[in-house]
Amino acid sequence: MLIKPAPDIPSSEITDKKLFLNRREFLAAAGVTAAGVLAASASPEAKGAPHGRLLMNVAHDFPKPDEKINSWEDITSYNNFYEFGVDKDDPERNAQKFKTQPWTVTIDGECNKKGAMNLEDVLKGETLQQRIYRHRCVEAWSMVIPWVGFPLANLIKRLEPTSKAKYVEFTSLADSKQMIGVREPILAWPYKEGLRMDEAMHPLTLMVVGLYDEVLPNQDGAPLRLAVPWKYGFKHIKSIVKIKFVEKQPLNTWQEQASNEYGFYANVNPTVDHPRWSQATERRIGEFFRRKTLMFNGYGDQVASLYSGMDLRKNY
Amino acid sequence: MRILKVAVFIAALGPLSWLVWAALTGNLSANPLSDITNETGVWTLRFVCITLAITPVRRLTGWNGIIRFRRMIGLYAFFYGTLHFLTYVIVDRFAGLDFPDGIVAWSTVVNLAKSVSADIYKRPFITVGFAAWLTMVPLAITSTAGWIRRLGGRAWNRLHRLIYATGVIAVLHYWWLVKADVSRPLTYGAVVLVLLGARVLWARRKSSAHVAQAFRPAERM
């Protein structure tokens, strides 16, 4: 992974002005020490961006939605990441010292490339790209987020799944030493999620390593998380330590917690209400009036065919 | 006593003042409307608990003067409960309406009423939340000296036991809205249980004392 202060970040159009000006100020100062920062870029202490470390060579050609993007502050201070506490501001507070280097991902199950991969191997050969996705939480709020990552399909192809691999199961880290929430049996730790193979291979499904062209902040699921923009946020598993190819549909944590409320598919669907939240509308963070929630979160053109013939009322 | 009453009155406005200050200065989260909903709700429950605690504290400490704060604290519970309900109506329902004739229109009133009633009917935790608020309405109305006189102390006392139901239903409302970690509603549930349990215990002792007294002459025979 290439990390250093980039001299040319074409992100002024997506960053709010104050932030952008801060970044320019920083870049002026960074010119002097760029070499030093580059040398230290492998260490988590390396600085080089308004908040953390810049990611290098991020492609910006993915089509952008015509919507206002949420600020860095919104995206990094309002998180559901129960491993670091159940309140929205807990992850920001409790994940600051979380160690994401070194990071190992275990590859297991029905594939030819079983074993341990470090993060650098996961990223090897991938071109990072910015993807500005709508993010819809099952709690009926939403944001627009400029993720940085690469298609999960690329990684899956490298892992050579066998014909028995029908689903992919992901597991989050559950380290009670570092993660204060894991000390309580709030959920059945470790957190697990799953995708059907065709969902995992879909070009929209993103392995995320960054935000606003910077290294992903800890509270957002560093160093490696999913973004599956047509599904509710709880499917977007964070801090992934294991990827397993399986034949049978895996049991995801929230389904295990309350199967009448959370299903396996969890596709954004305004016509199927959660027992406690109407899913017909949503509050976009920063807005007063609620928006109409779109089928498949507005990605129906790309993904609806995955579910043709399925009863989405039953497979919620 | 008068100064103490004024002090309690001002202190009880503290949560609201803090909320208004935090909202205006950007000290709430990225979803301030949700924070306002949650905070007014939690403070309602706290004031209900304080109201329920007055009689037990009076009994345990023998400080009879504390009873003079009960009406004020109870009315604050209703005040925060009403703020909580109005926040929900505006933030959760009004903000989600269509406005076919513009915002200032009769259809807005009709659609809002429909939206709120349909939601109360449909979602159990909203149903019980609304029920908890409803139980406080007659208590707030009859909180004046005039109403105590009109109803008579006995009937008034009986009516105001509705606050016990408020406590139980409010905890249930909180319990049902939490996604996974029920430790907070559980804590409030325990508080309400202790406060109501103490009353049951005292009522039993009292009645068994009566029984004992009633039997005493018989023993002499």
DSSP B102: B
Instruction: Strands of A259-306 (E only): list them.
Output: 281-284, 291-292
Interchain pair A276, B176: CB under 8 A: yes
Do A33 and A71 lie in one domain? The reply is no
Nearest to A82 among B123, B124, B180 (CB): B180
Do A26 and A126 lie in one domain? The reply is no
The DSSP element (H or E) to which B169 belongs, if any, is: helix B162-177
What is the CATH classification number for the domain harbouring A253?
A: 3.90.420.10
pLDDT at residue A52, as a whole number: 81
pLDDT at residue B209, as a whole number: 74
Do A95 and A105 lie in one domain? The reply is yes
Average confidence (pLDDT) over A260-280: 93
User: Tens digit of pLDDT for each residue in A48-94?
Assistant: 578 889 998 999 999 999 999 999 999 999 999 999 999 999 999 99
Do A235 and A102 lie in one domain? The reply is yes
Asked if residue A19 has pLDDT above 50, the reply is: no
Expressed as residue numbers, the domain containing A172 is: 58-307
Do A157 and A227 lie in one domain? The reply is yes
Do A73 and A46 lie in one domain? The reply is no
User: Tens digit of pLDDT for each residue in B79-131?
Assistant: 999 999 999 999 999 999 999 999 999 999 999 999 999 999 999 999 999 99
User: Tens digit of pLDDT for each residue in B34-72?
Assistant: 999 999 999 999 999 999 999 999 999 999 999 999 999
- Residue A216 backbone phi and psi in degrees, to 5: -55, 125
Q: How many CB atoms lie within 10 A of CB A239?
A: 28
Q: Assess B164–A contact: CB distance below 8 Å, yes or no.
A: no
Average confidence (pLDDT) over B129-157: 96
Query: Distance, in angstroms, between B176 CA and closest chain A CA?
Result: 8
Asked if residue A42 has pLDDT above 60, the reply is: no
Asked if residue A142 has pLDDT above 50, the reply is: yes
pLDDT at residue A275, as a whole number: 84
Do A50 and A70 lie in one domain? The reply is no
Residue A314 belongs to some domain of the structure: no
B126 closest CA partner among B95, B163, B97, B87: B87
Half-sphere exposure of A73 (CA within 13 A, CB side): 10
Query: Distance, in angstroms, between B29 CA and closest chain A CA?
Result: 7
- Chain B partners within 8 Å of A280 (Cβ): 96
Do A137 and A157 lie in one domain? The reply is yes
Residue A313 belongs to some domain of the structure: no
Do A63 and A15 lie in one domain? The reply is no
Average confidence (pLDDT) over A27-41: 34
Please tell me which residue, A119 or A5, carries the higher pLDDT value. Answer: A119
Longest CA span, chain B:
85
Interchain pair B34, A141: CB under 8 A: yes
Do A181 and A297 lie in one domain? The reply is yes
Tell me what ipTM this predicted complex has.
0.87
Torsion on CA atoms A83, A270, A296, A152, rounded to nearest 10: 10
Asked if residue A8 has pLDDT above 50, the reply is: no
Q: Would you kindly state where each structural domain of chain B is located, as residue ranges?
A: 2-190
Do A181 and A70 lie in one domain? The reply is yes
Interchain pair A186, B181: CB under 8 A: yes
Query: Distance, in angstroms, between B90 CA and closest chain A CA?
Result: 10
Interchain pair A283, B34: CB under 8 A: yes
Choose, out of A68, A83, A290, the residue to mutate when testing the contact with B (most B CBs < 10 Å).
A290
